[in-house]
Structure 1
Amino acid sequence: MRLGFRDLQTLSLGTFLCISISIEFCLALQSSQACPCDPDQMSVRREWGELSPGERIHYTDAVRCLMRLPPKLAAVGSFPGVRSRFDDFVATHINYTLNSHYSGLFLPWHRHFLWLFEQALRDECNFDAHLPYWNWPLWAGRLAESPLFDGSDTSLSGDGSYNPAEQDISGGDLTLPRGSGGGCVKDGPFKDMIINLGPFPRSLLSLTEIPAPQFDYNPRCLNRSLNNFISARFTNQAHIASLLATPDIASFQLTMDHWPASPSGVLGLHGGGHFSLGSTMQDLFSSPQDPAFMLHHAMIDRLWGIWQAADEEHRRYAVNGTNRILNPPWAEPVTLGMKMEFGILGEKKTVGEVMSPWNGGMCYGYT
């Protein structure tokens, strides 16, 4: 789907506010060549429920295509667990987890990671649409009823089979009840999906590098455990309103990504989405193995873009934190000129190049 500037006249107010601010700003900058993205060619990412059944299947077919294609990583190193082009993305995420999480690189690194995934779908799997997103509050507290996780052929597959051995979730001072599944995904397009990498313990967050072997082959089923308690409590509209009301990038990051848990029992929106889906998505390192990962992070990117566009002068290029997980005092502070690595997926990008979704070769917005 492409959106022309004239089409904005026909959009609802809510949709207009989500995407038109960035397009208007882009138009204003075109005369100075600061905005290389043509608004008439802007790709529009839509919420999963806005897609027709055929469009949803078109997306899941493209993702499954990546799972069938041969990897590129195997040709450049020793990656025994990387068995597909899809695994290239998982392994890259694993490799840069200790740089791109709970740090100043979290938002810009994942923005470009999503773009590279979307381009792979388009260039290698005949996908002619755009990455959808998961709008959490639409189905917070009733995940199995959502078009994303109802287990139908037009979903991303649903819950896993019930596993009585699944434990409650504990971290910091917070203990959360387990979900409703805990076993292999039972139905939908990813019912028979095998994941190959991980799992990784969260204790690795305290290390300066991931110990070998990072990329062992460990085939097992996609695990899901839909957790309505976490979904309702931590991904609701009130939390999104609080996020968008934050006055600066440091408070935005904290509201988005509050984990390890504080004594007040707060789990950020980022963690709320991950922890509402079960153990595959709860693995900080290898969570892209769940097809819901990309849609979850597209929602994060969407909210960051809305927040940025609300105050272009002060927010578009606002950075905070370092290039290492949990921002240790010895780490390098993030700057707009800092280069981010994406391994086999694509060339290095500076932080400044991806602070706008219409820069750095990208050209997209959200409904």
Structure 2
Amino acid sequence: MAGNMVVNAVLASLCLFSGASAWPFTTRQTTLTLDKVQEQALANAYKVLDGTLSDGLTRPSTCNKNTVAVRKEFGDLSKDERKEYTRAVKCILEKPSKLSATKYPGAKSRYDDFVVVHMNMTPSVHATANFLHWHRYYIWAYETALRTECDYKGYQPYWNWAKYPDIVNSPIFNGDEWSMGGNGDAIGAHAGSFIGGQMVPGGPGGGCVTKGPFANLTIHLGPLMSTVDPKIGIKSNPRADGFGDNPRCLRRDVNNFFSSAYMRPQDLLDHITASAAIGKFQDSLQDAGARKTALHVGGHFSIWGDPGGDVYVSPAEPAFWLHHGQVDRHWWQWANYLDKEVKSRTSMYEGGTNWMNPNSARGKSSDLQWLDVVAPTGQNGMASTQFFSTTAGPLCYVYA
């Protein structure tokens, strides 16, 4: 999330048409829609699995149409499935950390281990060549931990940004027992923040989350780059690196600013169809220009609050994983929806290696990615090539 980075990226819309147009026959036009993109991406992913379409990668025989996992949208899960997911998240929140208590005193739980890794990796995995690849690895590791350490039988759900114009009252944030918890309690008027070339007003929340599965959750790490109104009084971390123990409530300021105007189905479609190369795709996905807010930024700041509005500590917000599940799905759709482009798009890799240094070394697809203590057993330090596809390397999943 690069909330303070401003770029002049203008996304061009592209409509694809098919059908004969010669007189005297009636012209037949099939307009591409976001639903059609999903349909085509899934169909092509299955073609790759059955060998009728090549993406240029080799994959183990253990990943096939009969074994592939299917990640679903949170609101499409049954109520029992949603409760099972939040049970597993609460389980990992209760398990002890595997990190050094001296080096990372704020890491109190196994969940906090994931936050620490993100804090350490932030400069190298945002606005870099491996932004999409590392986060794919990271989300998969989290999903694996839920399954292997907390007996979760499902897979990581995602939040379809385009599905809920009113995200405040969506199944994700409505605060019932099947949600990801409610908004923060209303605290009245409070300042917004300058995000992506525009002033975004404060939302209807801003206070502690007191409803739903994550009511009264305690956050320990950070803040490092908070974007909430200073008058709210988020206390500073006792250590400059943010790793000290700083207990405070989970705060949210869930709002419809982005979902109602910048994350509509046409906005997602425009972004997917505007870029033929991954460099422009991933840059415009992350960076917010004055004309159109980037989708990655819009998702994070639709949740906002503390730690949701902190680029370093944002995984401490339990809804982070649904948001980044959608980031991964959005990339998966872009890579797979055009059958003639699947092979080339799957292996594209472009960008630098350090967000803070625009002249940093260019990333290579052989670069190793690291997850330290949260990596699945024996799978730390894996090359970016292992995450080109969701059905190659150690991965075996698609999106429904």
| Common fold: TM-score over 0.5 | yes
Conserved? CA contact 1:169–1:176, under 8 Å: yes
- Which of 31, 38, 41 is equivalent to 2:67? 41
Instruction: Give yes or no for the alignment of 1:113 onto 2:157.
Output: no
Provide the rounded CA distance (Å) in 2 between the counterparts of 1:137 and 1:338: 33
Residue pairs, 1:1-367, within 5 angstroms: 16-28=39-51, 34-36=58-60, 37-74=63-100, 78-140=103-165, 142-164=166-188, 166-171=190-195, 173-201=197-225, 212-245=240-273, 246-259=275-288, 262=289, 264-279=290-305, 280-309=307-336, 310=338, 311-325=341-355, 328-329=358-359, 331-346=360-375, 347-367=380-400
- Counterparts in 2 of 1:301 and 1:283: CA distance versus 1, 3 Å: same
Query: SS of the residue aligned with 1:155?
Result: coil
Unaligned runs of 5+ in 1: 1-11, 204-210
Q: Does the Cα contact within 8 Å between 1:104 and 1:319 map onto a contact in 2?
A: yes
User: How far off is 1:308 after superposition?
Assistant: 0.9
Deviation at 1:345, TM superposition (A): 1.4
Give the whole-Å Cα distance in 2 for the aligned partners of 1:125 and 1:321: 36
Using CA pairs under 8 Å that are at least 6 residues apart, name the structure with larger relative contact order, 1 or 2: 2
8 Å contact 1:258–1:266 — kept in the other structure? no
Compute the TM-score of the two structures, normalised by the length of structure 1.
0.88
What TM-score results when the alignment is normalised by the length of structure 2?
0.81
Distance 1:306 1:136 in 2: 14
Q: State the Cα deviation string for residues 19-60 of structure 1 (Å, max 9, x = none).
A: 221121132279x98121222110000011111100000000
Larger radius of gyration: 2
CA gap 1:202/1:187 in 2 versus in 1, 3 angstroms: closer
Separation in 2, partners of 1:171, 1:16: 33
The CA deviation string for residues 132-190 of structure 1, in whole angstroms up to 9 with x for no partner, is 000011112x1122111110000001111112363111146321111110010120000
Residues 238/15 of structure 1: CA separation in 2 closer, same or farther (3 Å cut): closer
Q: SS at the partner of 2:178?
A: coil
Q: If each structure's helix is expressed as a fraction of its own residues, which one has the higher value?
A: 1
Preserved CA contact (<8 Å) 2:223 2:242: no
CA–CA distance in structure 1, aligned partners of residues 398 and 128 of structure 2? 24
* C-alpha distance in 1 between matches for 2:144 and 2:122: 21
Q: Which runs of 5+ in 2 are unaligned?
A: 1-34, 228-238
Are the aligned partners of 1:168 and 1:175 in contact in 2 as well (CA < 8 Å)?
yes
